Amino acid sequence: DSAHNLYVSDTSRIVCFGRDGSYRPVVSGIEPHHIVPNGTADYVVILRKSDKQKLCRVGADGSVDTILETSTPLYGPDVCPNGDVVHHPSTSRLERRSSSGELAASIEGGRGRVIAFEANSYLTSGQDGHVYFSSKTCVYRWNHRERTVECIAGHPKAAGRRDGFGADARFTHLKRPVLTSRFAYVRESDNRFCRVDLETFEVSTLQLRGVEPGAETYGVTPDGRMMFLIFTVPFRIFTAETADALESTFTSDMRRVDWGPGGRGALVELVAGRDRRVYRADTRILEARSAYFRSMLSGGMREAARDGAPIDLGEDVVGEALHALLHFLHTDHFEPVTPPSRVCEMRDEEVLRLARFALEVHTLADRFLLPRLARLCEVFLSDYALCAAIVLPVLASITSPRRPSLANLEAACWDFLEEHWKDIAQSHSPALHELVEQGHPLAVELLQASSGVKRSVRRLEDEMPPAA
């Protein structure tokens, strides 16, 4: 609800969980039901389990009121902000009924129709007055006033895993959408979570950190500020604040800094790399811009920083990457080369060097909890640097070990391989030879990826002299 309370049912009783983890019973002993996911109301909507013919409202005080009762099942229903009920009596028909049961609007789809769709999920009433639903590889929007159904994301005849705008995005098999005022959130059957901008129809894959796959269900609060995931075995609830990783927080971060003479500012020394180079930074900026440094400097390291003792970040931290990270904290800017499009004019070895540098910076951005910097690295790699000369080295680097935070980049690399495999196999065979010689796991994945890849890599193995 609007207070970020979460309501959970075991089909006969409903419990409310607060943001602090506390819980209280709301109502028990009611007829078996399913909770209908709803993002526009501050009450719980339940559907009778036995025949799906009764939709009820459960208030925070446990009161139960009937919204609509029909003589036929209500499939995938939801309650609109004005109290109307939307559902699909069949996969190719959508209906909107008033609380009295009168038909307010309907639309037909399916094969042979001008509007072709199949509703195979719960309908979801949006805060904008439209109704949204998923159908296999697409997200649709029903405008009942204009009697139109349009595909806003995905393609009905093409499956895959790709971010993009509108019909350029790709999905495999979608679950129901969850709506806020700005975005639609959807999940695929393999637990890929995506966000669809309702104005631009841009599809972005969400990066969920700290949880394993296998969530039973999920949702987003109506204000769009918090996402939750529910696991059943064992029963656990995870919550996280939603944020656009590319959206800059620089201005708001800097406003929190006390720049006056009474501020708790101090220079701290950071030691990194095998050469043990020392870097200096203002603790106020580190704390304002990074939750990692904020936690570090507010704990045992604060006294060390005040005493002037350097903080050792480890020999595995590359100095050049740390310098770029500190520059980002102070300026909110990161570009391995300016402008990024200049990589198209560079030699292959220079592009590969920049790509490896961006991956090093991404590693630090992950470690120091800087999602915007991590996304800037990923955008540079996928949108500018990705080419035939570096795709194999980059893919090898991010798949052994696998880096979940770079799942989008990995998918982009595989798409690039599929599209340009002939050129890569002919012109960049040394990179393939190197993978096979190293016994890199990517070599096996390439063998299994497609028949074309399989034949080419086997030929490489056959041409290699036997090991001594």
Average pLDDT over residues 449-457: 46
Range of the domain at 124: 6-243
Average pLDDT over residues 272-293: 91
**Do the domain assignments include residue 212?**
yes
Per mean pLDDT, which range of 116-125, 197-206, 227-236, 316-325 is the poorest?
116-125
**Do the domain assignments include residue 222?**
yes
Environment class of 364 (CB within 10 Å of its CB; exposed 0-12, middle 13-18, buried 19+): buried
DSSP state of 405: G
**Do the domain assignments include residue 280?**
no
- Return the CATH number at 190: 2.120.10.30
**Do the domain assignments include residue 45?**
yes
Environment class of 322 (CB within 10 Å of its CB; exposed 0-12, middle 13-18, buried 19+): buried
Q: Is 107 helix (H, G, I), strand (E, B) or coil?
A: strand
Q: Using one digit for the tens of pLDDT, what is the confidence trace for 240-281?
A: 777 666 678 888 889 888 887 766 667 899 999 899 999 999
Tokens linked to 271: 């030691």
Residue found under tokens 């059943």? 232
Average pLDDT over residues 302-315: 71
C-alpha 308/C-alpha 301 separation (Å) is: 11
Give 455's pLDDT tier (boundaries 50, 70, 90): very low
**Do the domain assignments include residue 399?**
no
**Do the domain assignments include residue 96?**
yes
Are 43 and 55 in contact by the 8 Å Cβ rule? The answer is no
Beta partners for residue 459, in sequence order: none
C-alpha 142/C-alpha 94 separation (Å) is: 9
Give the closest residue to 272 by CA, choosing from 336, 323, 229: 323
Per mean pLDDT, which range of 117-121, 308-312, 461-465 is the poorest?
461-465
**Do the domain assignments include residue 439?**
no
Tokens linked to 311: 């903080």
- More confident call, 116 vs 171: 171
C-alpha 275/C-alpha 453 separation (Å) is: 42
Q: Which stretch, 147-161, 212-226, 402-416, has highest mean pLDDT?
A: 147-161
Q: How many structural domains does the chain have?
A: 1
**Do the domain assignments include residue 39?**
yes
Q: Provide the strand spans (E) within 49-201.
A: 54-58, 64-69, 78-79, 85-90, 93-97, 103-108, 124-125, 131-135, 138-143, 148-154, 164-165, 178-179, 183-187, 193-197
